Amino acid sequence: MPNPLLQTDDRGIYCAAGDFHIDPWKPVPRAVVTHAHSDHARPGSQAYLASRTSEPFLRKRLGKSISLQTADFGETVTLNGVRVSLHPAGHIRGSAQVRVEHNGEVWVVTGDYKVRPDPTCTPFELVPCDVLITECTFGLPVYRWPEPEDVAKEINDWWRQNASEGRTSIMFAYALGKAQRVLALLDDSIGPIYTHGAVQQMTQSYREAGVKLPATTYATGKDTSHDYTGGMVIAPTSAGRSNWIRRFSSPSTGFASGWMMLRGTRRRRAGDRGFVLSDHVDWPALMDVIDGTGAERVLLTHGDTAIVTRWLREQGIDARDLETPFARQEEDVAEEA
């Protein structure tokens, strides 16, 4: 039996025919990268291939001088005779699924993805394939996301209430992707919006790419006398453990993540409010995508793969875990998701 088109080795998902890796966790000669989150885009590879829209973020994460080839969504790049193309994953700006075609067989690696509307990135595209390698970060039937408009209303109501009580709202969100998605949902008639430095940098790149976002002011470390009362501050979770946060008087804190569906996570986070806003697929969307691709075989990664695998097998689908030596810290997952 011939080798499968893609399989894991000690450095990541490897295509032997094309001699490249997808989102490798160790340095490789050629890395195809789905998006600029740090658990997918890792430093040290000799050459990178990624979507054109992800370029500014990858250079921020991996350095200006990396050897990076970019491709438009849908454009085919041939590597050693293997046809590779990138398709929108709808996860964050520039995020891509990787389609690999060789000898009439098509494989798709989803990377992180979501199907819910998000004005800050290109909508997810369903790509038909023979074999699907999908993430299943939220691969349990309990995960069903509320409508983004409803979450937007919850966030704005919370902000308005805090402002009327003379409090400052602080929303913790991952600096790349989630922060900008939250920004796009805010009603800026309520008050001024401030950003932490890490968020400001990434937001600037979104604006330069033409994404419309409400005006924000960078809350620098220098001006400690500014009155932030009634404002909304967007900051990465790590800022909540730093001195930076002390400048805000009587703050009310919120956290935007898919993990907020679980009460235990809410308690552990110790924020005042949790908002269910995820950049990953929920359970029904995961099932729809698997079904929609028409894949004959499904390989699961990132999440409770055993549960999803068993469920799919009961539906008569040839599903298995994609063995990876790589396990993420829960903290990282929570911040990004």
Interface residues toward Zn ion, by CB under 5 A: 37, 39, 112
b/e map 188-214, b = 16+ CB within 10 Å = eebbbbbbbebbbebbebbeeeebebe
CA-wise closest residue to 125 among 83, 95, 82: 95
Tell me the chain's radius of gyration from C-alpha atoms: 20
The residue type of 112 is: D
CB 104 within 8 A of CB 270: no
- Closest approach, Cβ 137 to Zn ion, in A, equals 7
DSSP code, position 152:
H
- Closest approach, Cβ 93 to Zn ion, in A, equals 11
Closer to Zn ion by Cβ: residue 112 or 118: 112
Closer to Zn ion by Cβ: residue 39 or 55: 39
- Closest approach, Cβ 112 to Zn ion, in A, equals 4
- Closest approach, Cβ 166 to Zn ion, in A, equals 37
- Closest approach, Cβ 89 to Zn ion, in A, equals 9
Q: Which two tokens stand for residue 225?
A: 């006398």
- Closest approach, Cβ 177 to Zn ion, in A, equals 7
Backbone angles phi and psi of 123, in degrees to 5:
-60, 145
CB 83 within 8 A of CB 129: no
Closer to Zn ion by Cβ: residue 37 or 61: 37
CB 57 within 8 A of CB 94: yes
Closer to Zn ion by Cβ: residue 39 or 130: 39
Closer to Zn ion by Cβ: residue 93 or 102: 93
Closer to Zn ion by Cβ: residue 117 or 294: 117
